[in-house]
Amino acid sequence: WFRGLDQEDWRYEDLRKKLGKAYWPFAYTSLHLTPTLLVFGALAPAGRVATRGGRALSLNWLDGVALVWTLGALALEASADETLKRHRAAKGSRQKTCVEGAWAWSRHPNYLGECC
């Protein structure tokens, strides 16, 4: 889990070289602020329910749909990550594009599952 924390992602280094002085405003707005706002927006309804206490509305069928959707998205992300892990570990597959499982239908199924 901690592997790689002592090194910066090469994509950030590349962006810093390409953008120069514009890197930090870009990094703040696009790499840090935007995901934070997305997570806040996604969790705002849960915060409202948590702060209402006993006055919260009862669950309905839409909550069931949301639960099934969320579990499906988590399963897609986990499955895609595991498929990619096996693909990368296989000999001779380092240069090939993974086209197994969900990777046969989407270029980034792990991110699709995360976004859903």
Above 60 in pLDDT, residue 111? yes
Cα–Cα distance for residue pair 85/83, rounded to 1 Å:
5
Note whether 100 and 110 are within 8 A (CB).
Answer: no
**pTM for this prediction:** 0.59
What integer pLDDT is reported at residue 94 of this predicted model? 66
pLDDT at 1 over 70: no
Predicted pLDDT at 41:
92
Instruction: Please report, as a single letter, which amino acid is at residue 49.
Output: V
Determine contact, residues 70/78, Cβ cutoff 8 Å.
no
Looking at residue 26, its pLDDT comes to 93
pLDDT at residue 63 in the model: 87
Give the tens place of pLDDT for each residue, 19-68: 999 999 999 998 889 989 999 998 888 888 788 777 777 778 998 999 99
Residue 2 has pLDDT above 80, yes or no: no
Mean pLDDT score across all residues of the chain: 85
Q: Distance between the two ends of the chain, CA-based, in angstroms?
A: 24
pLDDT value of residue 98: 83
